[in-house]
Structure 1
Amino acid sequence: MTDKPALLEISDLKKHYPVRSGILRRKVGTVHAVDGVSFAVGVGETLGLVGESGCGKSTVARSILRLVEPTGGSIRLNGLDITHLGKADLRPHRRAMQIVFQDPFASLNPRMTAGDIVGEPLIVHGLATGNAKRVRVAELFEQVGLRPDQMQNYPHQFSGGQRQRICIARALSLGPSLIVCDEPVSALDVSIQAQVINLLIDLQRKHQFSYLFIAHDLAVVAHISHRVAVMYLGRIVEIAEKRELFANPRHPYTQALLASVPVANPKTRRLAPLIDGDVPSPINPPPGCAFHTRCRYAMERCRVETPGLADVGAQHQVACWLNEGTGRALA
């Protein structure tokens, strides 16, 4: 848990998708995209969410924002449960939650100018129109490193990094307290990634909002995050303060993720050998610990009992039977 006042609290969040087949579209299975995720994000904090493709990170993000309806669990924003609010009741709270999508071109309307894209939320929520809207949009453009005279340009007239800056300006337009960044730099060149990440950090320092930052690149996560949560097959398997997680990974999957990061020096000691095999199907997840099919430390207990997150240190939780007490997973 975070030591800062909680802005967002997620408890046992689940999202299951039915699998249908045949002419009658009968249900033949269930995809367990998110299967019992719990965490909190403090005020002004960045929580990094990492894991392999298909582990459920983006589904968690979309469920929190109610872009997809969760199957179970609860979502609390500023202490208020918004899990089951209707559209009308949820609308005022949407101003506090915004998202920056992965693809900065697909998430922008090609028929609208950049200024209209950024200003549209102001109109939708009745915050500004006419000249007041133009002034506000110009301010937002300057905040994200764009020129006000670019407000009349269309998305195809911008580079990838500039498009993502437009997406960030749109997210900022309503003054949110939480911004969900769903792999916001994975589609950008490395040099541009650094600029966008530094922009996000500067904006957070200025406005004190919180980030849920989803990414594959552990170096990016280490740079921007205060705490890091590791997901595997729809569940969080480890969550800790950033420095603690990178210096003292306790779950075998976290160790494997860190060991897979390329290093310039071939003599550098790896944390653990890379794991083998593929991620099991979320339609038919294995019993017990979902990672036991790829874990070299798996015991019989791992195959039949599902471990929950347990404290192994200050603000450090791990879901692994090998970490009971003070034991370490890595020999």
Structure 2
Amino acid sequence: MQTPAPTVDGSKPVLEVVNLVKEFSLQRSLLVRRRDRVHAVDGVSFKVEVGETLGLVGESGCGKSTLARAVMRLIEPTSGQIYIDGTDIVPLSKRQLRPYRRQLQIVFQDPFASLNPRLSAAEIVAEPLDVHDIGSAEERMERVVELFQRVGLRASQMKNFPHQFSGGQRQRIGIARALASNPRLIVADEPVSALDVSIQAQVVNLLMDIQQERKLSYLFIAHDLAVVAHISHKIAVMYLGRIVEFAERRALFTQPLHPYTEALLAAVPVPNPALKREREVLGGELPSPINPPSGCHFRDRCPHAFDRCQSESPALREIGSGHLVACHLH
């Protein structure tokens, strides 16, 4: 029996995350019963509107992928709320969550590891249709053919297995699979980081074309600011489990407010070798999420840190219209 899709309320954000926390408990040793906790996601809040792309950027280890999996409930959040079309999906059982999974799909980073090597490409793309009992067998096959053509693959390739495709083609299969259930939002967890630069552009342009056609929303996670600038409407900058800056794309790139955002932008390569600019190199390394610094998590690497940064954690506050920053300098 086909599972009914949840009621869609177009007046509400497709996705709203409120004070989301994800901690992992670690046992130090078999003899010492002390337990440490990894603060992977530490009180994150944001919204994704209909037809909008929210880019999420930050260094490796800052909690981006953990946040993506927690939003999808592939891992269970420690606390917080995740609203899909106004319904909090955190307290839902697996059975209750099932119809919402049709609305929320994911494209993984590794286009090979995320595909079952024992299934043909057609079987991989059809799997969401089978799981959610969408359509008859003939309708499912027609849908798979349509999806193959839409992502730039040939129908003659449907019987091939993942190892018979290139990396870019495998990621197109992953995109087709995510589109199969006709979702309203796709979480793209660094979907182009494992691809060649020329292929990255093709995949990003494909995602943008599909978004315009279907009014899809994306939570687009990446560490490449050039890619994020190309596809995103709004951008959230994440550091050690927290969002430190949130703004419209243009505002973030023309007037960054947080020192960490400034450092990330300064590290972006300039295509013109004759153009010289000052670079603010960050000192030290990303602190351990097991024992983060007191106060502002960025203070040990910030060139502008002062006494207040050591004792008080800055709240994410609105400085301009829709421009939020967590920094005592503002």
TM interval, short-chain normalised: over 0.9
What is the match of residue 232 of structure 1?
239
Q: Secondary structure at the match of 2:177?
A: helix
What is the match of residue 270 of structure 2?
263
Select the residue among 178, 199, 202 that pairs with 2:206: 199
Cα contact 1:18–1:27 (8 A) shared by 2? no
What is the match of residue 64 of structure 1?
71
Q: Secondary structure at the match of 1:321?
A: coil
Query: TM-score, with normalisation over the residues of structure 1?
Result: 0.94
Cα contact 2:12–2:85 (8 A) shared by 1? no
Q: Secondary structure at the match of 2:14?
A: strand
- Alpha-carbon distance in 2 for matches of 1:204, 1:6: 16
- Alpha-carbon distance in 2 for matches of 1:279, 1:263: 25
The amino acid that maps onto 1:307 is P
What is the match of residue 3 of structure 2?
none
Change (3 A) 1:247 1:138: same
Cα contact 1:33–1:59 (8 A) shared by 2? yes
Deviation of the 1:311 alpha carbon: 1.0
Select the residue among 172, 194, 197 that pairs with 1:165: 172
2:210 is aligned with 1:208: no
Cα contact 1:16–1:30 (8 A) shared by 2? yes
The amino acid that maps onto 2:248 is E
- Alpha-carbon distance in 1 for matches of 2:274, 2:12: 43
Within a 5 Å distance, the mapping from 1:36-47 to structure 2 comes to: 36-47=43-54
CA RMSD of aligned residues (A): 1.3
What is the match of residue 246 of structure 1?
253
What is the match of residue 134 of structure 2?
127
- Alpha-carbon distance in 1 for matches of 2:220, 2:252: 16
- Alpha-carbon distance in 2 for matches of 1:175, 1:69: 24
What is the match of residue 20 of structure 1?
27
Within a 5 Å distance, the mapping from 1:1-331 to structure 2 comes to: 5-23=12-30, 26-270=33-277, 272-323=279-330
Cα contact 1:61–1:180 (8 A) shared by 2? yes
Cα contact 1:11–1:75 (8 A) shared by 2? yes
Deviation of the 1:236 alpha carbon: 0.2
Change (3 A) 1:143 1:24: farther
- Alpha-carbon distance in 2 for matches of 1:33, 1:179: 22
- Alpha-carbon distance in 1 for matches of 2:244, 2:276: 24
Identity score, percent: 62
Q: Secondary structure at the match of 2:61?
A: coil
Gaps of 5+ in 2: 1-10
What is the match of residue 326 of structure 1?
none
Cα contact 1:123–1:129 (8 A) shared by 2? no
Cα contact 2:28–2:36 (8 A) shared by 1? no
Q: Secondary structure at the match of 2:128?
A: helix
Deviations along 1:35-76, one digit per CA (max 9) or x if unpaired, are 110111011000000000000000110000000000011111
Change (3 A) 1:245 1:269: farther
- Alpha-carbon distance in 1 for matches of 2:190, 2:176: 16
Deviation of the 1:272 alpha carbon: 4.5
- Alpha-carbon distance in 1 for matches of 2:76, 2:270: 41
Deviation of the 1:26 alpha carbon: 3.5
Cα contact 1:56–1:234 (8 A) shared by 2? yes
The amino acid that maps onto 1:186 is S
